[in-house]
């Protein structure tokens, strides 16, 4: 299948390569000319055969809004736009309406997998019309992990990003729980080898997970996490999850507290936040602030 890919950073660039390795033709555009196959969005559209499919993988907010608006003026009836970034679910209806005026379809995709997705596959949470989703299945099938899991058509437009928002809220809480356990053992004189305890949890325990594996990896690389400051950013989805919980009157104490802990990390250094910073760096290549 032929696909246009806009945004060739850590995620978009690796997704392009994964698709190309499985025989798909992917034409890429990025503001960095060294990464791009074409020099503009107009050139990208001209390079694709109709009906076109264009995947947008740029930062949420104005970057995505302006890209979708520009594509609305370049694409034709029957074409399809995919927003695979971390847009807020409430933006999707506006994007879909803008494109629908020109007969252009819209699918939102929450993507999880970080820097490991190239080899392990990307979990895909998809929102949009059934016909549009089915048209993109050759792409989705190559991006997702092997096996029966890792893909869901969650519902109509906005459902994919909503599911990814909740996924990231849960991710916040899980990382915070591991980090708090790490800090408690570090503070105690009962446990002599904290890193080995965490390593032992990777098999046979009810708390084993990929995030735990990554914390073990981080501690192998830096046993005291001495090279990382306990300063952790939040990228938006955690806040949106808490805002949505407030709107729907759903109690989310663990996710809310994990968000507030990130706020606290920017005020005072903390071993727990060092652990979260290390985890974000491990699974997504996110920047850390060195001591």
Report pLDDT digits (tens) over 226-239: 999 999 999 889 99
User: What CATH architecture does domain 2-156 belong to?
Assistant: 3-Layer(aba) Sandwich (3.40)
Is residue 116 within 8 A of residue 284, CB to CB? The reply is no
Greater pLDDT, 192 or 115: 192
**Is the model's pLDDT at 286 over the cut of 90?**
no
Of the listed 142, 171, 183, 237, which one is catalytic? 171
- What is the reported pLDDT for 205? 98
Topology classification of domain 164-284:
1.10.1040
Whether the predicted pLDDT of 144 surpasses 90: yes
Where exactly are the structural domains of the chain?
Answer: 2-156, 164-284
Note if 171 is an active site residue: yes
Check residue 27 and give its pLDDT: 98
- Catalytic residue among 16, 142, 144, 164, which? 164
The verdict on whether 164 is a catalytic residue reads: yes
């Amino acid at each position: 299948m032929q696909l246009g890919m806009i945004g060739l950073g850590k995620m978009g660039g690796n997704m392009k390569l994964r698709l190309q390795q499985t025989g798909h033709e992917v034409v890429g555009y990025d503001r960095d000319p060294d990464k791009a196959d074409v020099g503009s969005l107009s050139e990208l559209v001209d390079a694709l055969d109709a009906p076109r499919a264009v995947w947008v993988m740029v930062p949420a907010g104005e970057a995505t809004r302006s890209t979708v608006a520009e594509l609305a003026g370049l694409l034709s009836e029957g074409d399809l736009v995919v927003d695979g970034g971390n847009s807020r679910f409430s933006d999707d209806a506006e994007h879909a309406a803008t494109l629908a005026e020109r007969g252009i379809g819209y699918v939102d995709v929450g993507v999880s997998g970080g820097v490991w997705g190239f080899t392990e596959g990307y979990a895909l949470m998809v929102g949009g019309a059934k016909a549009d989703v089915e048209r993109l299945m050759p792409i989705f099938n190559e991006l997702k992990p092997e096996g029966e899991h890792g893909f869901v058509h969650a519902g109509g437009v906005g459902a994919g990003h909503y599911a990814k928002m909740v996924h990231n809220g849960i991710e916040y809480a899980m990382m915070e729980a591991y980090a708090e356990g790490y800090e408690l053992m570090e503070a105690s004189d009962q446990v002599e080898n904290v890193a080995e305890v965490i390593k032992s949890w990777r098999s046979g325990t009810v708390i084993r997970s990929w995030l735990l594996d990554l914390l073990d990896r981080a501690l192998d690389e830096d046993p005291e996490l001495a090279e990382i400051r306990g300063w952790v950013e939040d990228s938006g989805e955690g806040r949106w999850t808490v805002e949505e919980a407030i709107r729907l009157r759903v109690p989310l104490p663990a996710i809310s507290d994990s968000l507030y802990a990130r706020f606290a990390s920017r005020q005072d250094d903390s071993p727990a936040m060092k652990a979260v910073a290390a985890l974000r760096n491990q699974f997504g290549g996110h920047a850390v602030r060195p001591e």
